Structure 1
Amino acid sequence: MTHTKLVFDPFSREFFDGPYDIYARMREEAPVYYSEEYDFYALSRYEDVAPAYRDFETYSSARGLDLATVRKGEISSFKSIIVLDPPEHRHMRRLVSKVFTPRAINDLRDMVDAQIVRYLDRVDPTGFDMVQDFSAYFPMEIISEMLGVPMEYRTQLRLWTDVSLHREIGQIEMSEAGTDAVVEAMRFYYGLVKERRANPQDDMISKLIEAEIERDDDQPPTLTTMEIAMFASLLGGAGAETVAKLVGGAPVTFARFPEQWAKLRDDHSLIPDAVEELLRFESPNQYNVRYSMHDVELHGVTIPAGKPVFLMLGSANRDPAAFDEPDVFDIERDRGGRPSLAFGLGIHSCLGAALARMESALALGHLLDFMPEFEVDFDNCTRVSMQNVAGYESVPVRVRARQQ
């Protein structure tokens, strides 16, 4: 059998439409893959990706999380938690994690549930789009409610996020429209933080203004307006996109494995396991990019210092060395103690993971009651083409009468 040359292009239509065949070849043929076209390396095996997430001294986040910013090799002057390494990251995370304690998340349950019901009540069961009519909306509403974003700005913030993440085929750098969207979103959050400084409310931004942070420099112990605005922008984007794509794509996966939907329909106690399996099977975040701080020897390949390195968590989550029959969707899977990497590991594991899990579980519960039997119009499902984010842009669904 003659194989074509292995090419991994994270900006190609083949990647956006589903990269799992490519991942399998990468794990087998080139676990340390080098892209001649884009000058980056990629790790695809669980045994390599998981430790790399924990090793910030080797794989740094300080130069960004996407290829365009990382390969510039510049440390950002803007102190967003997502591009900080210790010790600054440790101090910032300790502070912002206070708003994501188990108790704080549980206190949000009624609000989260109400937002999900609000949008599900609007859809037409005879035919609706799971993404465009449902999952694209409620996560942003939830995050906005937490932050204290006024109702009239929430749709615009969601649209700005979509524009900033969108990539045309072959596009690496953010478009001018994307840059403008980031600027406008930051301008909005900066103004909102200033407003909350003058008039505090019962919201996350006001809490972050009041909080004090341990610092290793001579700066004041409180967060600056820009630091809070950047955190709000990060949360408003990443926090909404993960759940939107996970829930939006769930009907596609369950339609392909209908016995799993039937199992879940008969036993709602399996919903948390179903969320974990959805995260593993087709993670909304397929990779993060890091910057190699020194030469790394791995599988006979040297990754030189100063190179972008893709940590392919989407591939690691389908690694047969880590998960039995990884391409089978099984909500009762025995994970053998190995966590899905959907939310990362180590210091940059997702702060909002518990919230995302709760939102997804509540949404699945309501969908099970709303559409116990359904069909997906596969011919008209379309995927997004976005930086880092994978999932569906459109998933047409119709609720069927339940068979007796």
Structure 2
Amino acid sequence: MTTPRLVFNPVSQDYFDNPYEIYRRMRDEAPLYYDEEEDFYALTRHADVAAAFKDHEAFSSARGCDLGMVRSGEVPQKSIIFMDPPDHRHMRSLLNKAFTPRAIQSQRETVVELVRHYLAEADPDHFDVVQDFSGPFPVEVITRMAGVPEDFRQQVRHWIDTSLHRKPGQIDMDDENMQATIDSGMYYYGLVQERRKNPQDDMISRLIAAEIPGEDGSLRKLDDIEITGFTTLLGGAGAETVTKLVGSAVVEFARHPEQWQKLLEDRSKIPDAVEELLRYVGPVQYNVRYSLKDVELPSGAVPAHKPVFLMGAAANRDPRAFDNGETFDIDRDRTQAQNLGLGYGIHSCLGAALARMETAIALEHLLDFMPRFEVDFDGLARVSMQNVAGYHHVPVTVLR
């Protein structure tokens, strides 16, 4: 029997359904994958992906982070993920202040309160982990921090979902994606204007008051477009990551009940479980960069002026970096290689500590809510999204 030709199409139904089998073949057969038709490269081995994430001088973020954007060179808004140094450095140092260890810890009570609230409302006989729980609570956390009024917090999640959704075969944004992006941007822009008139104790107000070095070295304030770009990104990244990670966690623990049992017996393993989930089923599948020059990587050369997929989710299962990389094991040796689940290098996730804390608290409470459970595997529905993987529906029955 002949093996079918290896094709990586980031918007194919096969890829949305099971990216990991495609990643395995790419790592083995074409670690420097080149698509002639679409004219892009894709890196899947850990050594290559980690090196590219660290080399921001060769792999630029300034053209965007998905294939459609990078190819067109038109980024939809001013945002830290679409910046190279020095602009990125100035913005990052400013935004880091919102995510200090103390700032993250100050959110713990809010996270616990929201997790308990949504689980208290859930029906154990008909529990959809994503729709009833991991969808609603993370967006509440991040939008509260930003300063979004309660009435609009869940709306933000629907805008994000619509803007990231891709139909099979669709690389560029369609009208629905664009409309959701515009609606979200207009909403945040209006909120920035409101906070200029009436500052409050929230992130938008602090960004309005902040100053960063301008091109001539003198300090300047952020403009409304910059603040809008960041708060839009924050809502998306802060909601999507945990929503998808917790949904995928429940599916993997259903497939590996002995791992769930380990947590039931020893809750001190929860942080290790979060790290393994980020490695094994991390929601962010890839980031696309633009090569500014010819680059030599461990697996070969990438030429200048090409879109390049840095496939973090593929690298995280690379058996060259992790023993038994395709095995889900919360007790694994985590010192073997860098976990790329929340990025690496200058663009590593700003809210990584918050995402880890939210996921750990969610798992802690799920252990109480459903110590024994069954996933309806036939009812699982995967998302088909740009950059992001996970589930839209994870139906569960709690066993008494």
**TM-score normalised by structure 2 residue count:** 0.97
**Does the Cα contact within 8 Å between 1:34 and 1:40 map onto a contact in 2?**
yes
Superposition pairs for residues 2-401 of structure 1, below 5 Å?
Answer: 2-74=2-74, 76=75, 78-217=77-216, 221-298=220-297, 301-401=300-400
CA drift of 1:337 comes to 4.5
**Hey, what's the Cα distance between the residues in 1 that align with 2:391 and 2:299?**
37
CA drift of 1:77 comes to 8.4
In structure 1, list runs of 5 or more residues that go unmatched.
Answer: none
CA drift of 1:38 comes to 1.6
Deviates further, 127-136 or 362-371: 127-136
Secondary structure of the corresponding residue to residue 194 of structure 1 = helix
**Does the Cα contact within 8 Å between 1:167 and 1:387 map onto a contact in 2?**
yes
CA drift of 1:160 comes to 0.8
**Does the Cα contact within 8 Å between 2:48 and 2:299 map onto a contact in 1?**
no
Q: Residue by residue, what CA displacement relative to the aligned partner does 1:31-80 show, whole Å, maximum 9, x if unpaired?
A: 10011232110000000000100101111000000000101235x48431
**Hey, what's the Cα distance between the residues in 1 that align with 2:195 and 2:301?**
50
**TM-score normalised by structure 1 residue count:** 0.96
**Hey, what's the Cα distance between the residues in 2 that align with 1:301 and 1:275?**
33
**Hey, what's the Cα distance between the residues in 2 that align with 1:285 and 1:300?**
23
**Does the Cα contact within 8 Å between 2:31 and 2:299 map onto a contact in 1?**
no
**Does the Cα contact within 8 Å between 1:31 and 1:299 map onto a contact in 2?**
no
Deviates further, 294-303 or 31-40: 294-303
**Does the Cα contact within 8 Å between 1:64 and 1:83 map onto a contact in 2?**
yes
Secondary structure of the corresponding residue to residue 56 of structure 1 = coil
**Does the Cα contact within 8 Å between 1:239 and 1:352 map onto a contact in 2?**
yes
**Hey, what's the Cα distance between the residues in 1 that align with 2:77 and 2:33?**
31
Code of the aligned partner of 1:67: L
CA drift of 1:300 comes to 7.0
Deviates further, 77-86 or 7-16: 77-86
**Hey, what's the Cα distance between the residues in 2 that align with 1:79 and 1:99?**
19
Code of the aligned partner of 1:113: V
Q: Residue by residue, what CA displacement relative to the aligned partner does 1:216-264 show, whole Å, maximum 9, x if unpaired?
A: 3377521111111110000001110000000012111001110000000
CA drift of 1:299 comes to 6.2
**Hey, what's the Cα distance between the residues in 1 that align with 2:177 and 2:329?**
38
**Hey, what's the Cα distance between the residues in 1 that align with 2:31 and 2:295?**
13
Q: Residue by residue, what CA displacement relative to the aligned partner does 1:298-349 show, whole Å, maximum 9, x if unpaired?
A: 4675422111000000100000011111111111110224221011111100
CA drift of 1:175 comes to 1.2
Code of the aligned partner of 1:293: L
**Hey, what's the Cα distance between the residues in 2 that align with 1:78 and 1:327?**
37
CA drift of 1:285 comes to 0.4
**Hey, what's the Cα distance between the residues in 2 that align with 1:173 and 1:77?**
12
Secondary structure of the corresponding residue to residue 213 of structure 1 = strand
Q: Residue by residue, what CA displacement relative to the aligned partner does 1:8-49 show, whole Å, maximum 9, x if unpaired?
A: 111111111121111111111111001123211000000000
Secondary structure of the corresponding residue to residue 304 of structure 2 = coil
**Hey, what's the Cα distance between the residues in 1 that align with 2:362 and 2:175?**
35
Q: How many residues align?
A: 400
**Hey, what's the Cα distance between the residues in 2 that align with 1:138 and 1:79?**
27
C-alpha change, 1:322 and 1:300, in structure 2 (3 Å) is closer
C-alpha change, 1:217 and 1:188, in structure 2 (3 Å) is farther
Secondary structure of the corresponding residue to residue 358 of structure 1 = helix
Code of the aligned partner of 2:167: E
**Does the Cα contact within 8 Å between 1:73 and 1:306 map onto a contact in 2?**
no
Code of the aligned partner of 2:107: L
Code of the aligned partner of 1:387: Q
Deviates further, 288-297 or 83-92: 288-297
**Does the Cα contact within 8 Å between 1:32 and 1:298 map onto a contact in 2?**
no
**Hey, what's the Cα distance between the residues in 2 that align with 1:298 and 1:337?**
20
CA drift of 1:131 comes to 0.7
Deviates further, 206-215 or 297-306: 297-306
Q: Percent identity?
A: 61
**Hey, what's the Cα distance between the residues in 2 that align with 1:9 and 1:367?**
36
